Amino acid sequence: MNIRKVKEFFIEKLIFICGLASIFFVVLIFLFLLREGAAVFNSVSPAGFLSGRSWYPISEPPQLGILPLILGSLMVTVGAAVISIPVGVACAVYIAEIAPPSVKEALKSGIELLAAIPSVVIGFIGMVTLVPWVKSVFRLPTGLTALSGSIMLAFMAMPTIVSVAEDALYSVPKSYKEGALALGATHWQVIHRVILPAAASGILAAVMLGIGRVIGETMAVMMITGNSAVIPNSILQPVRTLTATIAAEMGEAVVGSEHYFALFAVGIVLFVISFAVNVTADLFLHKRTS
Amino acid sequence: MVAFSIRDLNIWFGAVHALSNLTMDIPAKEILSVIGPSNSGKTTFLRMLNRLNELNVNFRMSGAVDMGGKDIRKMETELVRKKVGMVFALPLPLPLSIFENVAYGVRIHGVKNRNKLEVSVERALRQAYLWEEVKDRLELSAFKLSGGQQQRLCIARTLAVEPEVILFDEPCSGLDPVSTAKVEEAMMKLKTDYTIVLVTNNVKQAARVGDKTAFFLSGKLVELDKTDTVFTVPRDKRTDDYIRGKFG
Amino acid sequence: MRNPRRTQKIAFFLLFLATLFIVVPVGLIVIIIIQKGLPAVNWQFLSDVPRQGMRAGGIFPAIIGTVYLVTGAIIFALPIGVLAAIYLNEYAGDNFLTRIIKLAIVNLAGVPSVVYGLFGLALFVVFFRFGASIIAGSFTLGIMTLPIIITTSREALESVPYSFREVSRSLGASKWQTIRYIVLPNALSGILTGTILGLGRAAGETAPILFTVAAFYLPRLPHSVFEQTMALPYHLYVISTQVPNVDEKVRYGTALVLLALVLFMNLVAIVIRFKFRKKKKW
């Protein structure tokens, strides 16, 4: 009896510790990024790092300005958002409101399937199908452009947008809909005047989470966007994102070098962005439930 | 003989004062019927006796409940619940076989020997008048039984841990008259060995099986007396009104 | 005046088009990969090591490497994830700490995969001196899978009716006994589903293993968890972008094997979910 009590005491302590594990890991990730990344600010100021216009990490002395990378990420992300938000929300509305039940299940499985395809496979498919197509349609020297990246990333954001937005639409009380229909509104009028506004904060959260996924996406973007670290002035140019920079260069960076520290500092920037995006999205989701 | 002795008991759930200033004794080896409209505190009262209220995080209390001279709040929770069994309003079999449902509590309290388990299960099922109906299909899922059988299974499950007291929380509310009669019959037989507290919405059932009857209203005990007395010459007008169906 | 019926028709048609715009490419991607990859996939491709600078031979070490990594990740993440889910669903009160834990899970799920790679590099490879190794890669993938396992396990625990817990407690079972004997067994299918989904995700990830474990070219099986290994997703990346003149068939074949592996795991998860949902007794 007492042995049981002692055993349970330890099990429950263990459960509590594991309950805290996610906090522990988030903090640990941040601390280790900071530990390795902060050293770069010995040679470049945080402002200079963020707004520097040239990224030449292995020249002598290295030039560590990530503005081109930030703009590269921004361009690809905006492009992906322009495509994925309207299409994703529209698809969510179709699934939540219009599709008959059997079609609905099939569509949901299709979307889940898309979410399951590994990023590197998406990148590969983009490389062999979309990139040559962009090259020939726009008569470019290369199809590895921000546009190609945006299109493929849009597909990676859509599953998130569709499923979160669909949840939000679905949780709008049925009575709202019935009330409006009883007043003689058409189904479409009900959707865009009643249901969409009622689900607005959830849809906003869906959009945020989708964008978060795009900003953090690495492999596909590295394979498709051409990776040139210059400030882009057109969506038909090659760009390099924050994520792709880390992935492409960390393999060659010497541990403890300026370059190594700088890549960790890029990691800090990414971590902070994703943190902000996720906290905001969570606030929107919370607003909906409360 | 007194099974429970309750002194100045107050219970709150958050801001809700569920029971106020309750002082009463519960006689041993009898059936105490507890009646009253919904939200009168009768279920809270019942769940106090095996400390089940404490599962609610907003629970607060003052006063004392003594069982056999000991304050149940000072006893080990698991031991109180072993001694004071509970049968719920709806038949709530666990998602296990018939045998394992009855054996569950016995196992929890440390019995591992298969023979001993079998003995306990058979004894409990017989006491609940279910043995003959299920003895050939003990390995079947408990959900395959009818509602009435499920409720008797729950009684057997409670009996198997050999409690001293059995609490019934409106045990027949979901059952048809035939099943209800069987459950009542089981209760009548059980009172020779156990103290029984029966919370019921059915005034006639309270009259049929209760040796004593308590009437609760708005978290207060209005009247507690022999069942005959309560039902023929109640001292409080509100008791009379409730029994006659004027409210509730 | 505009006709609301016609507006509705046009609107619904556009919504339908948007849906097609998502679903059709998914189908196309899968079909293209199967069609072009299938001719490359044969027993030799699956069982042989890469040869001629990865232009010929098979992908066996990459397959096995991915299996090792995923297994390691799950050994690490499953116990922590399930216990964390138990804490959240069975123990945690409605308070500030719980709110912070939930926020941490959301953030953990949102951290970019390449940042996990950096973290794994800094913590396991450099700080713990594991070097680029299976153990470093597994732990990194494990931490990345944690939010999926916690979230799905928690849903599974939540779906076990509260009344079962109450009954068990009323019989004198302690909280842990109730969890161990009633709640967990009935949440098992859901936990399994979540675990397999997490595995599928881990199997397809490249960025977290880039600097923590993945070997560019290592045409043999690793001998211990402190060695590097090839892995399928990284191998696909390498032969698509880093090695010139690789036969297209080999690339498509590798993509097909990876896709099949990941989709197979998802399928298994769906089948388990479906089977147990039908079997549910309450």
How far apart are the C-alpha atoms of A148 and A151, rounded to whole Å?
Answer: 5
Asked if residue C218 has pLDDT above 60, the reply is yes
How far apart are the C-alpha atoms of C86 and A16, rounded to whole Å?
Answer: 9
Residue B110 phi/psi, 5° resolution?
105, 0
pLDDT classification of B59: cutoffs 50, 70, 90 = very high
The whole-number pLDDT of residue A43 equals 87
Look at the block and give the residue holding tokens 């560019």.
C216
Amino acid occupying residue C186: N
Contact criterion met (CB < 8 Å) for B161 and C170 = no
How far apart are the C-alpha atoms of A93 and C190, rounded to whole Å?
Answer: 28
Look up residue B63 and give its two tokens: 């006063």
Fold of A49-289: MetI-like fold (1.10.3720)
> Which residues of chain C are within 8 Å of residue B55 when distances are taken between CB atoms?
165-166, 169
The answer for B41, left when phi > 0, alpha when psi is -120 to 50, beta otherwise, is left
Close Cβ partners of B227 (under 8 Å, ≥ 6 residues apart):
B33, B206, B207, B210, B211, B212, B213
CB B234 within 8 A of CB B241: no
pLDDT digits (tens, 9 = 90+) for A157-183: 999 999 999 999 998 988 888 888 888
Residue percentage of chain B with pLDDT more than 70 = 100
Distances (CA, A) of B198 to A134, A206, B156, B158, B211: 78, 52, 16, 14, 11
CB B69 within 8 A of CB B82: no
Asked if residue C2 has pLDDT above 80, the reply is no
How many helices, marked H, and strands, marked E, lie in chain B? 10, 10
SS3 letters across A233-256: CCCCCCECCHHHHHHHHCCCCCCC
The whole-number pLDDT of residue A1 equals 57
Q: Is C271 an 8 Å CB contact of chain A? A: no
Amino acid occupying residue A192: H
Contact criterion met (CB < 8 Å) for A223 and C241 = yes
pLDDT classification of B95: cutoffs 50, 70, 90 = very high
Contact criterion met (CB < 8 Å) for C4 and A189 = yes
Asked if residue B248 has pLDDT above 70, the reply is no
Q: What is the mean pLDDT of residues C8-23?
A: 93
pLDDT digits (tens, 9 = 90+) for B10-57: 999 999 999 999 999 999 999 999 999 988 999 999 999 999 999 998
Q: Is B78 an 8 Å CB contact of chain C? A: yes
* Cβ-nearest to C182 among B79, B88, B94: B94
**For an interface test with C, which of A4, A5, A14, A18 has the most C Cβ atoms less than 10 Å from its Cβ?**
A18
Close Cβ partners of A14 (under 8 Å, ≥ 6 residues apart):
C83
* Cβ-nearest to C236 among A4, A15, A124: A124
Asked if residue A288 has pLDDT above 60, the reply is no
Look up residue C272 and give its two tokens: 């388990």
Q: Which residues pair with B9 in a beta bridge?
A: B22
Q: Is B79 an 8 Å CB contact of chain C? A: yes
Q: What is the mean pLDDT of residues C29-57?
A: 89
Complex ipTM: 0.92
pLDDT digits (tens, 9 = 90+) for A141-162: 998 999 999 999 999 999 999 9
CB B171 within 8 A of CB B198: yes
Q: What is the mean pLDDT of residues B213-231?
A: 94
pLDDT digits (tens, 9 = 90+) for A53-98: 989 888 888 889 999 999 999 999 999 999 999 999 999 999 999 9
Q: Is B129 an 8 Å CB contact of chain C? A: no
Nearest chain C CA: its distance from A175 CA (Å) = 21
Close Cβ partners of C33 (under 8 Å, ≥ 6 residues apart):
A121, A125, C252, C255, C256, C259
> CA dihedral in degrees (B221, B224, B229, B230; nearest 10)?
30
Packing angle between helix A242-249 and helix A67-93, nearest 10 degrees? 120
> CA dihedral in degrees (C258, C260, C263, C268; nearest 10)?
-120
Q: Where are the alpha helices (DSSP H) in C159-247?
A: 162-170, 175-178, 184-204, 207-210, 232-237
Contact criterion met (CB < 8 Å) for A29 and C26 = no
Contact criterion met (CB < 8 Å) for C169 and B81 = yes
The whole-number pLDDT of residue A150 equals 96
Q: For chains A and C, what is the number of CB pairs under 8 angstroms?
A: 263
Reference C176, options A10, B82, A57; nearest CA is A10
pTM of this prediction? 0.91
Look up residue A241 and give its two tokens: 């994102």
Burial class (CB in 10 A: 0-12, 13-18, 19+), C153: buried
pLDDT digits (tens, 9 = 90+) for A199-214: 999 999 999 999 999 9
How far apart are the C-alpha atoms of C189 and C178, rounded to whole Å?
Answer: 18
CB A136 within 8 A of CB A69: no
Asked if residue C281 has pLDDT above 80, the reply is no
How far apart are the C-alpha atoms of A160 and A216, rounded to whole Å?
Answer: 13
Q: Which residues pair with B32 in a beta bridge?
A: B197, B212
Please tell me which chains touch B, using 3 or more CB pairs under 8 Å as the contact test: C
Domain C58-279 falls under CATH 3.40.50.620 = no
* Cβ-nearest to A22 among C4, C112, C147: C147
Contact criterion met (CB < 8 Å) for B95 and C281 = yes
pLDDT digits (tens, 9 = 90+) for A231-246: 888 889 999 999 999 9
Contact criterion met (CB < 8 Å) for C181 and B104 = yes
The whole-number pLDDT of residue A290 equals 47
Contact criterion met (CB < 8 Å) for C163 and B143 = no
Q: What is the mean pLDDT of residues B186-202?
A: 92
Look up residue B24 and give its two tokens: 């009463």
pLDDT classification of B195: cutoffs 50, 70, 90 = very high
Spans of all domains in chain A: 49-289
How far apart are the C-alpha atoms of B42 and B221, rounded to whole Å?
Answer: 9
Which domains are seen in chain B, by residue range? Answer: 2-92+164-243 (3.40.50.300)
Reference C170, options A248, A272, B55; nearest CA is B55
Nearest chain C CA: its distance from A248 CA (Å) = 9
pLDDT classification of C149: cutoffs 50, 70, 90 = very high
Q: Is C181 an 8 Å CB contact of chain A? A: no
- HSE of C181 in the Cβ direction (CA atoms, 13 Å)? 22
pLDDT digits (tens, 9 = 90+) for C243-262: 888 888 899 999 999 999 99
How far apart are the C-alpha atoms of B40 and B45, rounded to whole Å?
Answer: 9
CB A28 within 8 A of CB C123: yes
